[in-house]
Structures are given as structure tokens and as C-alpha cells.
Amino acid sequence: MNYKKIIVDAGNRMLKSGLTVGTWGNISVRNPENGLIYLTPSGMPYDIITEDDVVVMNSAMEVVDGKCKPTIEFCMHIGILNARPDINAVVHTHPIYSQVFACLHEDIPPIIDEAAQLMAGTVKCAEYALPGTEELARNIVNTLGNGYACLMANHGAVCVGADMDSAFIICTVLEMTSQIYYMAKCIGKPVVIPDDKVAYMHEFVSHHYGQGK
């Protein structure tokens, strides 16, 4: 599998999906066979990044391949992947509605079935820390826990998945949930799906929904 191409394609996908603008956000994917981690380079527009620009690092945060500097958030990406053997892709986005709640330091509860099924509960907002710092990485790793998404206070969002497609689905569902939550709060008080129903739906989708399960 060409993991460098996965990073290049994911960067263009994030940009075209409206999940970020300019050079903001960053992406990583892990090869589960050897543990190597492929990351977007720092400060490069996604539409000009080539496979030669992708940076490869190991779990000890050492560069093993690549001529570019890695994203400044490499500590966050590798910290998440080191803490979560069940996931292999991390996508950090700057979507509008998710950022609204990130600026409020407000969590996003499961108010729609899609959020309950895929994110398995409330998406929490991590405490603020400066971009690219080890403090920010720790805050995100601790806040994400065993979940699939978290907000970065005054910054953006982080979504994870077993592979890149799964991570992007989480990105899309988080932004959709954030927009619906915002609109529902403008009208009244959104009703949160009960914890037991969330747990049931997440377990069902994870282990029984679809073909081959």
C-alpha cells in the first residue's frame, strides 16, 4: 500500500471538502505492519504536496524518511497513535461549526443517530494550549481517550479512524452534528440521546451493521 499517496490524496480531500483552508490542519496515517507514521509536511498548501514531500516518522518521533519538516503537530499525531493501537489515521481539521464550539470550549453531545453510532458519545473539548506544543499533544490525547473525535479549544477538531476513510467519515459526521447542534440551540434546547441508546447503537454499528459482520 502506498501510504505517501494516501497522505497526498487525503490532503486534497480535506481541502475540497471544506474542512480547512490554506495550509491549516494536518494528517497522518500509520502502516500497521511496521509502525511507521506518514505525515503532511509543515506549512505547505495541500494542492501542491507530492509524495516526495510526505514525512515518515517512527513511534519515538524520529524522522526516518523525507526532506521536509513534518507538521508542527507531529507530537499530537504520534501521541494519539501510540495511545491507540486500534486506529491508524488521524485528521486534524478546521471546520466552521466545529470551531464555533471549540471557541466556546463547549462539548458536542450525541444529538443525532449518526453521532451516536460513530462517535460513541459526547465529543469533548480539550483545554487550550499553544499549537505545536507537547502540552497540546497531551491535552488532546487525554481528552480523546477511547473516543473518535475531540475539539481543540480555539483551534479546530481532531478525528481518528481505523483507516483514512473511517477518519474522514468521523470528520464529516462531527461537522454535521456541530451544525445541527448549533441550529437546534438557536431554536430551543436540543435533546441528547440517552447513554444506553448510544452504547447500543455504537456496538451494533461496530460489530453487526453492514455486510461481513
Give pLDDT, residue 120: 86
DSSP conformational letter for 47: T
Average pLDDT, the chain: 95
Q: Please write the tens of the pLDDT for every residue from 55-98.
A: 999 999 999 999 999 999 999 999 999 999 999 999 999 999 99
* Identified catalytic residue from 51, 73, 106, 127: 73
Question: In the chain, count of helices (H) and strands (E)?
Answer: 7, 8
| CATH code for the structural domain at 3-207 | 3.40.225.10
The ranges assigned to domains in the chain are 3-207
Q: Give the residue among 83, 33, 76, 78 at the shortest CA–CA distance from 58.
A: 78
Q: Give the residue among 107, 101, 111, 122 at the shortest CA–CA distance from 192.
A: 111
Identify whether the C-beta of residue 177 lies closer than 8 Å to the C-beta of residue 111: yes
Cα separation, 10 vs 2, whole angstroms: 12
Position 213 confidence tier, pLDDT thresholds 50, 70, 90:
low
Residue 198 reports pLDDT greater than 80: yes
Q: Please write the tens of the pLDDT for every residue from 126-148.
A: 999 999 999 999 999 999 999 99
- Is 73 catalytic? The answer is yes
Residue scoring higher pLDDT (202 or 188): 188
